[in-house]
């Protein structure tokens, strides 16, 4: 028997997990952590949602999730991404999708971006180091572009700009 929705999430500091759980609660979808997901599990569902974080311009874990989905034969893949970039940065988000999805995927895979924030307290040691390097590099740089200035402000400390409202478009799509 095929079930309806499986939501697979990959989360390091909790933002993606929170959005995944909200979507699961509202749609009755089953919510499963990425490390527990398999192609066999996906094959039991009509729709597989993969949620992850933006990670240095990439969707963390997307290639592996996509391979699992393709192997599973499940019907529809949906992707959502959380990130520190505010939703208002429409061009940045558009470019992000273009970098991560092929033209074909942009057409066929419904994709949703949700602003979240940054949480240094829960970040892994490796991620903290990466952010430290980025902060040092930006601090040193002269003649920073507008984007670089924005990024410098954005990564200075922890903040939470997540909200239930940002998961609504995904929920509406899943309930359609
Ligand atoms: C090393 C690193 C790189 C990141 N790169 C981006 C990025 O390219 N774009 C963005 O919007 N946010 C970026 N972020 C912020 C995360 O995507 C954001 O905090 C995300 O919601 C974390 O999800 P999680 O709490 O589920 O792990 C980055 C964070 C870290 C630690």
pLDDT for 175: 94
pLDDT for 2: 54
pLDDT for 95: 97
Atom of ligand 1 lying closest to residue 11 CA: 26
Query: Do 111 and 79 contact (CB within 8 A), yes or no?
Result: yes
pLDDT for 3: 64
Residue 24: domain span: 3-119+159-175
Are 85 and 164 members of one domain? yes
**Residue numbers of the chain with a pLDDT score lower than 70:** 1-3
pLDDT for 9: 98
Are 70 and 97 members of one domain? yes
Are 59 and 135 members of one domain? no
**Which residues line the pocket of ligand 1, CB cutoff 6 A?**
11-17, 53-57, 82-85, 116-118, 123, 127, 130-131
pTM value is 0.96
Are 134 and 55 members of one domain? no
pLDDT for 109: 98
Residue having the nearest C-alpha atom to atom 16 of ligand 1: 83
Are 79 and 152 members of one domain? no
Residue having the nearest C-alpha atom to atom 1 of ligand 1: 127
Number of domains into which the chain is organized: 2
């Amino acid at each position: 028997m095929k079930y309806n929705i499986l939501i697979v999430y990959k989360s390091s500091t909790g933002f993606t997990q929170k959005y995944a759980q909200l979507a699961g609660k509202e749609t009755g979808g089953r919510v499963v952590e990425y490390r527990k997901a398999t192609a066999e599990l996906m094959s039991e569902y009509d729709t597989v949602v993969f949620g992850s974080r933006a990670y240095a311009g990439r969707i963390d874990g997307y290639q592996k999730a996509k391979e699992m989905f393709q192997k599973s034969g499940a019907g529809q893949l949906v992707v959502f991404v959380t990130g520190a970039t505010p939703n208002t940065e429409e061009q940045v988000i558009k470019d992000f999708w273009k970098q991560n999805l092929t033209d074909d995927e942009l057409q066929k895979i419904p994709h949703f971006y949700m602003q979240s924030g940054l949480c240094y307290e829960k970040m892994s040691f490796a991620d903290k180091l990466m952010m430290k390097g980025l902060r040092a590099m930006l601090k040193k740089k002269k003649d920073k572009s507008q984007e670089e200035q924005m990024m410098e402000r954005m990564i200075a400390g922890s903040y939470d700009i997540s909200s239930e409202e940002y998961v609504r478009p995904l929920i509406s799509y899943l309930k359609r």
